[in-house]
Chain A
């Protein structure tokens, strides 16, 4: 096959793919600046005639989007911090500490991955009802404070830490917490960043569980608030696009800034354990 022909075919396909992947996102951004009703026209307009921020104003002033944004930020940050702490500790223990039944326990955890989270949701709701956590931030946070995937990820990475390093510290008389804090954690920094991004994105994008456990709109996260708005304001496409921008933009920016860590973690997590 002709080399230059193949070259333009491959790059042409890539451009086409990129357009398909990005167009909906760019269109969302553009429509979010249109006047109410402007997008419902033929041919569908690509750019706003007179760009306006009124959709965003409407969302923040009347639809409570600011509250949802703060809720999302708070809930996702707390989940990220807590699950990071718990998963790091457990992952490190599975990789480097010796205890009876370590492999069996780990296998059992991995085995639990086949159970879809939704199976647990109904009793979990009742459980949280009796503890009094339904319709609270804690109702979203507490079940997400540890994850098998996170533990797995940390274990995979921590296995690369040389045992001699830890042994040497023990011989020097360092306590286990000091070893963890001063020797292990610095070495785990890359996986910490990766895991933090993963947890944050997952918490931010989570839909089904917050939808179930958050009943009052003062606790809504962005996806729940947006889905609720979408049912009320189905005709107002410009408003809904502005809402989508607010929901998507933070995670998209986070991803763009931390891309390398995210993609590395994705590969590490997909290596067979």
Chain B
């Protein structure tokens, strides 16, 4: 059999699926975002109008888009460092020769990652209930007045960030752990002989050696965190006062609640452009950093 033909036979099913159910819709989304496809258009295609960039223009003038973007950026800017810091801390602990029962701790710390977001978000909603929640009860023991975690517009997003860190840190922890284990032991040996403190070892050996891993992990985490949706959907329904409405939540509401598919597609594309720009800038900065 012709080797070219064989290869394509092997590729066709997957490429067909990806082409028809991903690539084609992405291109269609771009087209859709230039129309005012809505309920009326759904009823009859005659009610569809080409509006060029009007959807984008209208979005840029909508306070809700900017506040949704603000909430998403808040979630990313606070959530990603916090999440990665926790991952790195946990990985360092697990990597320490002094730690015991490593397999157990590794499994325990990783367990939240495999759980279903919806289910654990439901748990958190009760743990962070203002009246009967465990969180306020524990804080009460330290004399801290009870906090309206999910009901106060200032606290709702921090609570969701906390939740996301709890849910996700195990994933990067495993990657960091592998990275740490790949650092040659003699580097530390040499540093110890030179009398370097634990902090200096961390600063001058561990961090630089983990550099490439950190970059990759941070890019993946940033793009994951930009896609915030299920957490506010279950925990706050985007509220209170829309303080947890993320860009994707806006897209979902706009598209599947109000059926303004045109304007929702514009939201999706703007999100894509923003994510693309942010990760590109991160890569560029990292490259410049490593050249310097």
Q: Do chains A and B touch in the complex (CB under 8 A)?
A: yes
Partner-B contacts on A (CB < 8 A) = 1, 3, 6-7, 10-11, 13-14, 17-18, 20-22, 24-25, 27-28, 31, 39-44, 85-87, 89-90, 92-94, 97-100, 102, 109, 112, 114-127, 142-143, 145-148, 151, 175-176, 180, 201, 204-205, 207-208, 211-212, 222-224, 226-227, 230-231, 237, 240-241, 243-244, 247-248, 251-252, 254-256, 259, 262-263, 266-267, 270, 272
Please, which residue of chain A has its CB at the minimum distance from the CB of B107? A259
Say whether B114 contacts A252, CB under 8 Å: yes
Residue of A nearest to B276 (CB): A114
**Pair B111/A270 contact, Cβ less than 8 Å:** no
Instruction: Tell me the bound Cα distance from A114 to B282 in angstroms.
Output: 14
Main SS class of interface, A: helix
User: Is B24 in contact with A127, judged by CB distance below 8 angstroms?
Assistant: yes
Q: Using CB atoms, name the residue of chain A closest to B18.
A: A146
**Contact status of A230 and B234, CB under 8 A, knowing A124-B25, A142-B21:** yes
Q: Are B223 and A114 in contact (CB under 8 A)?
A: yes
Question: Using Cβ atoms and an 8 Å threshold, which residues of chain B touch A116?
Answer: 223, 226-227, 268, 271-272, 275
Distance between Cα atoms of A117 and B116 in the complex (Å)? 19
Contact in complex: A121, B120 (CB < 8 Å): no
**Interface residue tally on B, bucketed by range:** 35 or more
A252 to B14: give the CA distance in the assembly, Å.
Answer: 29
Contacts of A11 in B (CB 8 A): 98-100
Closest Cβ of chain B to A127, distance in Å, is 6
Q: Is residue B264 within 8 Å, beta carbon to beta carbon, of the partner chain?
A: yes
Tell whether B56 is near chain A: CB-to-CB under 8 Å: no
Q: What are the residues of chain A within 8 A of B233 when measuring CB–CB? A: 207, 211, 227
A18 to B237, CA, bound (A): 30
In the complex, B158 has a CB within 8 A of chain A: no
**Which stretch of B72-80, B89-97, B184-192 is in the interface?**
B89-97
Cα distance A39–B212 when bound, in Å? 47
Q: Which of B7, B119, B125 contacts A97 (CB 8 A)?
A: B7
Docked Cα-Cα span, A57 to B20, in Å, equals 43
Judge if B29 is at the interface, Cβ distance under 8 Å: yes
- A122 to B29, Cβ gap below 8 A? yes
Query: Would you call B251 an interface residue if the criterion is a C-beta within 8 Å of the partner chain's C-beta atoms?
Result: yes
